Amino acid sequence: MSPHSLSRRDFLTTGAGGILAAAALDRPADGAEPKVLRVRAYTNYEILDPAYHLGAPESDVMDALFVGLVSLQPGTTWGWERDAAVAIEQADPTHIKFQLRPGIPWTNGFGEVSAEDVKFSYERMADPANKSPYRGDWAKLAGVDVTGPHSGVIVLKEPFIPLWSSTLPQSSGLIVCKKAVGRLDGKRFALDPPATCGPYRIRKVEPRLSITLERNPLWPGPRLPFDEIHAVAILDANAAEIAFEAGQVDVTHVPMTSVPRLEAKPPANAGLVVRPGLTYWWLGMQMETGVFADARVRKAAQLALDVKSVLDGAFFGVAPRSTGIIAPGLVGHRERNLVGGPDLERARKLLAEAGHPKGFKTEIGVRNSAEFINAAQVVAASLARVGIQAEVVPFASGVQKAMASDKAGGWKKMQMHISRFSMRPDPSWATVWFTSAQIGEWNWERFSSAEYDRLHEQALAETDPAKRHAMYVRMQDLMEESGAYTFLTHGVNAVLHRSHLKPALTPDANRMLLRKFQIA
């Protein structure tokens, strides 16, 4: 053996030593093991700007990097708690006064969080010129009056009830640094915020893979239990479960179809949280052209569909049937559907009246993922009983939206589709997508009702909960009466976590409130 040769033992010793040395460098100065929370995201991290982010996992990370006036309360009931605001009150239906806690510094030497930052953040989002996808959250904002370095008044053009549930405590209520963001091109950023103020700051970003957060040494608030948060994007649900079992992540969402198995035999040292979701799934029919332009055909499809089979087949019976687009517990939730169980005789009769006594061929467009494709296959089997031969067409993410927006008429190819929309705890977040203004955007059924549009606008400002409830119930009735909708489920969200963790989740378990996680 030459003096420079390396035996297998030498190699292993040197390698292990190197790994240990690297690990030691990674430890806090006091020599203790860093407490790390490792979370899995089901989408890639692409944008951490509250005005332009793309999905809930990004909101989870943004919550750890920024503060809002208020933040969401974890638990099983929807609520908010003060965050950067030491005081906040609704002075009247259109004025919200706030007082910021002084001494919350921005990183990178941008001073401290001020009322000017609040004004900049909310007005930036509301300004149509900035084209924030979340400008609807601030649609009624007239402006923010700054009354002192740390105080101000949010002024609304008219009462806006969703403000306290789906705007202020959510990502749309997060505050960004005016001095830092204002000097950026386009006043926006992606994965590189120029200044943050939350309890954590970014240590490392691997685009589309992971984000590592570490304690923000400037954070003046209480010390949180974790030194670091490792957020890893694992798109495939099976891979996420394997990563959990291999100890690579501590907390992950799991698909609905995994719930029965995990409940029956949970992994060692793990807990499972299953909560009813707010999202809504439905079968929609494009009612402007093609075979479904005939209301009798749409109603026949409604009557032919066996929703229970769809839920059993696609979601393993874990998710109950929905009665609309507004989930139980929210204002506007309907008690029951107008169309009950399947009625094949009536469906066949309607098809015969519409000139399709032997049925017809059509397509069901779905997102290219197992849950959607499974649901569509059961729907197809259900419709086949009355002669409607439906082929399932999986689309890549975004393709259906592009078709719906196609001004050259690509939307005409969309006949049936199964969709799921995300939701916040205010009914307006569900109904807004089905207004006439959304035709060519998110209203893929091209459902148009003047009464619906009027009720949607009125309900945004209606302060009487009973009247507001009746308005949203009527809107869902109108949707179902059109025949273009069969409501399927709100689903459930399931979170698998290490038993030494006490996860902080929203009541629907869709969001992980990372800075509120505790050690059990």
- Interaction site with other proteins (CB under 8 A): 237-238, 241, 257-258, 261, 309, 312-313, 368, 370, 373-374, 376-378, 380-381, 384, 391-394, 396
Which lies closer to other proteins via its Cβ, residue 374 or residue 482? 374
What is the C-alpha to C-alpha distance for residues 51 and 187, in angstroms, rounded to an integer? 10
Least distance between other proteins and beta carbon 360 (Å) = 17
Least distance between other proteins and beta carbon 336 (Å) = 24
Least distance between other proteins and beta carbon 263 (Å) = 13
Tokens 């939307």 correspond to 411
Beta-bridge partner residues of 37: 229
The DSSP secondary-structure symbol of 322 reads: P
Beta-bridge partner residues of 238: none
Which lies closer to other proteins via its Cβ, residue 73 or residue 309? 309
Amino acid symbol at 184:
L
SS3 423: coil
Query: How many C-beta atoms lie closer than 10 Å to residue 406's C-beta?
Result: 14
Which lies closer to other proteins via its Cβ, residue 48 or residue 378? 378
Largest CA distance in the chain: 93
Which lies closer to other proteins via its Cβ, residue 104 or residue 314? 314
- Is 352 in contact with 297 (CB distance < 8 Å)? no
Which lies closer to other proteins via its Cβ, residue 111 or residue 313? 313
Which lies closer to other proteins via its Cβ, residue 392 or residue 423? 392
Closest CA to 487 of 375, 330, 393: 375
Which lies closer to other proteins via its Cβ, residue 58 or residue 241? 241
Least distance between other proteins and beta carbon 241 (Å) = 7
- H-type alpha helices, 355-425: 370-384, 399-404
Helices 295-304 & 370-384 angle (0-180, nearest 10): 100
- H-type alpha helices, 207-343: 237-245, 259-264, 295-304, 307-315
- Is 480 in contact with 488 (CB distance < 8 Å)? no
